[in-house]
């Protein structure tokens, strides 16, 4: 079954304490892996797209990496404003639909 | 430029009533998606429109749900005879390309069925 699993479900960090969020996927024919950030009461905000194993993208304190089975979102020296739910999603298969399959998300809380 | 907009932002309705939710995509985006986010659950794909092609309706949970996209731009998601389990946040997204483009999301419509 095509599946996207994120871990941990929740993560509490102290400001400045670096960590990583995991997104593992079991799909056939990955066409793209996406990371989004979602703040309470808002729609998901796009962060990164990764297309092939070995690819890396960076933005401020965030760095996303991709292997053939999983993606990591590394957060370096986080600040309280990084607190949010981080969502991973994949596009896959040979069909002509671009629908995304989402993981359940990791809720990050960064304490000052 | 303007992002994806959705209206209403909140909707409270009674069980059995019909509701219409509206989405205005980013100008120039040819692909439009509807997703549903229920409390404690991930985002669930509902339907996808790409240009003049037949929509992918594979995610619609029942025949009470339907959507249309007029003139390749604005889309309306209609839920007939609403049930309490329809309570959720309905999110719309758009992208340049339906098969590989990055999707940009609107703020969502929070639907509560009493």
CA distance A23 to A77: 20
Check if A9 contacts B (Cβ < 8 Å): no
Q: How far apart are the CA of A6 and the nearest CA of chain B, in angstroms? A: 11
Beta bridge partners of A12: A109
Arithmetic mean of pLDDT, B56-78: 93
pLDDT at B1 over 70: no
Secondary structure letter of residue A1 according to DSSP: -
Give A54 or A95, the one with higher predicted confidence. Answer: A54
Report the distance separating Cα A13 and Cα A83, nearest Å. Answer: 9
Note the pLDDT of residue A97: 73
**Residue A40 CB contacts under 8 Å (≥ 6 apart), including other chains:** none
Q: What is the pLDDT of residue B98?
A: 62
pLDDT band at A86 (very low <50, low <70, confident <90, very high): very high
Kindly tell me if the per-residue pLDDT of A65 is higher than 60: yes
User: Do the beta carbons of residue A28 and residue A15 sit within 8 Å?
Assistant: no
Report the chain A residue with the minimal C-alpha distance to residue B42: A104
Is the model's pLDDT at A21 over the cut of 80?
yes
Average pLDDT of chain A, as a whole number? 94
- Residues of chain A found within 8 Å of residue B104, distances taken between Cβ atoms: 46
Residue B2, pLDDT > 60, answer: yes
| 3-state SS class at A81 | helix
Q: What is the mean pLDDT of chain B?
A: 92
Residue of B7, B9, B43 to mutate when probing chain A, most A C-beta within 10 A: B43
A96 pLDDT band, cuts 50/70/90, is: low
Mean of pLDDT values over A55-73: 96
Q: Would you call A91 and B33 a contact, using CB atoms and an 8 Å cutoff?
A: no
Radius of gyration of chain A (CA): 14
Q: Say how many Å lie between the first and final Cα of chain A, rounded.
A: 41
């Amino acid at each position: 079954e095509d599946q996207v699993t994120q871990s941990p479900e929740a993560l509490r960090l102290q400001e400045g304490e670096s960590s990583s969020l995991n997104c593992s996927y079991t799909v056939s024919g990955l066409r793209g892996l996406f990371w989004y950030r979602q703040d309470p009461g808002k729609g998901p905000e796009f962060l990164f797209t990764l297309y092939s194993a070995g690819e890396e993208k960076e933005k401020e304190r965030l760095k996303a990496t991709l292997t053939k089975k999983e993606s990591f979102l590394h957060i370096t020296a986080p600040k309280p404003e990084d607190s949010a739910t981080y969502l991973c999603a994949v596009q896959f298969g040979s069909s002509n639909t671009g629908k995304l399959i989402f993981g359940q998300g990791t809720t990050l809380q960064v304490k000052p | 430029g303007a992002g994806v907009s959705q209206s209403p932002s909140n909707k409270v309705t009674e069980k059995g009533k019909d509701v219409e939710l509206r989405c205005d995509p980013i100008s120039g985006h040819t692909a439009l998606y509807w997703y549903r986010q229920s409390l404690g659950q991930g985002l669930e794909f509902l339907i996808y429109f790409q240009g003049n092609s037949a929509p992918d309706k594979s995610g619609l949970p029942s025949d009470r749900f339907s959507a249309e996209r007029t003139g390749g731009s604005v889309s309306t998601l209609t839920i007939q005879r609403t049930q309490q389990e329809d309570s959720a946040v309905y999110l719309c997204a758009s992208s340049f390309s339906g098969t590989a483009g990055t999707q940009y999301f609107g703020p969502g419509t929070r639907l509560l069925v009493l």
